[in-house]
Structure 1
Amino acid sequence: MDFINKTAIVTGAGCGIGFEMCRQLALQGATVFLNDVDASLCKSAAESIAAEGGKCIPLTGNSSDESFVTDMITVAVAQTGRLDIAIANAGITLFGEFLTYPADSLFKVLQLNIGGSFFLAQAACRQMKRQGTGGALLFTSSVTGHQAHKDLAAYSMTKAALEMLAKNLVVEVSRYGIRVNTVAPGATATERTLNDPEYATIWSRITPMGRPATVSDIADAALFLVSDKAKHITGQSLVVDGGWTATSPSPF
């Protein structure tokens, strides 16, 4: 129970990797505020974790909205008195060829992937500074922030940006005892990817470890980075991809 008496916020957590992060945090003792833009999904996800014995509170809203992000932290602190962990997991992937990529798609990706993560980190650091007890931030990046990937110029750019943001915040917030890292998942079996019948087959073939990641694989790494076991790790990105970035064969 590494997270007893800790308060955590995780965005984009109604399903997939974010949900598993919330689940593991809650089952290891944290009070978790689970955010998703889909109200019914947010509620059912929190109820599912609570049914397993974890303390999980749903917070429905758009995590790219600065005022909503501030409200999330206000609610969390009002209920628990503190904020220890903030995980900016929310993001969208909009595929498209670079030469014809539409402006509205670009701005949507930028607003959520970069803007939402920036605002959460900013508001969380303000609260952690006031507390005077430090804390841990985590951004969900991607292997596409390390390796080129067809039709993902906009998405890849945002993920590389998050890794640079984590490095830059080391200069800004380390003096307050706040650590900032990123986890960079490779191909991962989630509700979304499993809708593609060829996904697991393709990624099992081109991943050196012989399979795509599970959501638990990613959440295990994330929890390490926000735990006291990583208390001297900051400004780093942990790639969890079964070795794919070492060889980088294309799935196309």
Structure 2
Amino acid sequence: MAIFKNRVAIVTGAGQGIGLEICRQLAREGASVILNDVQEGLAVEAAESIQHSAGICIPFAGDASDVSFIDSMVEEAIKQFGRLDIAIANAGITLFGEFLNYTPEDLNAVLHVNLGGSFFLAQAAARKMKEQQSGGRILFMSSVTGHQAHKNLAAYGMSKAALEMLAKTLVVELSEYKITINALAPGATLTERTVHDATYESTWSRITPIGKAATTNDIAQAALFLVSPQAGHITGQSLIIDGGWTSVSPSPY
């Protein structure tokens, strides 16, 4: 039996990479999925690929850090499918830069998308889940850089560590509504973005104890577990998926 049958999910930043694979696997397991990406063409193409091979998936393009757009995305889930059960805040941006030269504009952009977008998606989803009185699952996408220092990623790592604290804090406010809230912290992962770096896979395979970088399937499988019925007693937790890198933390540089 499909474990997400009759469940409705929103996944942001899902036009490619980890988000796309999460959407594909949710749909394959019976969920009806709202797939968001800021690029309309990417969202449409991604959703169509899932419709052809996996299941029900509707594109909803727009800025996942904009509160009014977030509200409209939740309402679209209700309009299309009548409910919302799962919200995965996958959208995020990475702006590298040396700390001594980092600009206010870059810091604000990172915080606005990575923190603000995740915070307000969780808020909008939780309000609807509370109203439905049937519980729900919320998942933040953190990073190993929220656990270990990484050169030129002070702002990004700070935002990801904050998401894990947000997941822990919201346990106090959301548990009475049977809403679980967790965070997933991927390490080096092979995606459409990282494949453009010719040395990425070989470098991370060398410095990762398990001997290889993660695939999007590795991350998606963990995400599906945390939003599944099997994880109903897990909340406020952060799960690192990094092949052991944070245990030793050698720099890729």
Normalised to the residue count of structure 1, the TM-score between the two structures is 1.00
CA–CA separation in structure 2 for the residues paired with 1:26 and 1:187: 25
CA–CA separation in structure 2 for the residues paired with 1:125 and 1:76: 13
1:47 alignment counterpart: 48
1:168 alignment counterpart: 169
CA–CA separation in structure 1 for the residues paired with 2:113 and 2:199: 28
Query: What secondary structure, in the 3-state scheme, does the structure 2 residue paired with 1:119 have?
Result: helix
Q: How much identity, in percent, do the aligned residues show?
A: 65
Query: What secondary structure, in the 3-state scheme, does the structure 2 residue paired with 1:62 have?
Result: coil
Query: What secondary structure, in the 3-state scheme, does the structure 1 residue paired with 2:58 have?
Result: strand
Count of paired positions: 252
Deviation at 1:103, TM superposition (A): 1.0
CA–CA separation in structure 1 for the residues paired with 2:175 and 2:114: 23
2:31 alignment counterpart: 30
AA aligned opposite 1:247: V
CA–CA separation in structure 2 for the residues paired with 1:153 and 1:11: 23
Any gaps of 5 or more consecutive residues in structure 1?
none
AA aligned opposite 1:209: I
Any gaps of 5 or more consecutive residues in structure 2?
none
Deviation at 1:81, TM superposition (A): 1.0
CA–CA separation in structure 2 for the residues paired with 1:36 and 1:191: 15
1:10 alignment counterpart: 11
Aligned-residue CA RMSD (Å): 0.4
Deviation at 1:53, TM superposition (A): 3.5
- Contact 2:24 2:54 survives alignment (8 Å): no
Query: What secondary structure, in the 3-state scheme, does the structure 2 residue paired with 1:13 have?
Result: coil
CA offsets, 1:149-174, max 9 Å, x none? 00000000000000000000000100
CA–CA separation in structure 2 for the residues paired with 1:37 and 1:169: 27
1:154 alignment counterpart: 155
Deviation at 1:75, TM superposition (A): 0.7
1:225 alignment counterpart: 226
Q: Where in structure 2 are the equivalents of 1:64-103 lying within 5 Å?
A: 64-103=65-104
Task: List 4+ stretches of structure 1 deviating above 2 A.
Answer: none
CA–CA separation in structure 2 for the residues paired with 1:134 and 1:81: 15
1:194 alignment counterpart: 195
2:132 alignment counterpart: 131
1:59 alignment counterpart: 60
Query: What secondary structure, in the 3-state scheme, does the structure 2 residue paired with 1:94 have?
Result: coil
CA–CA separation in structure 1 for the residues paired with 2:12 and 2:108: 19
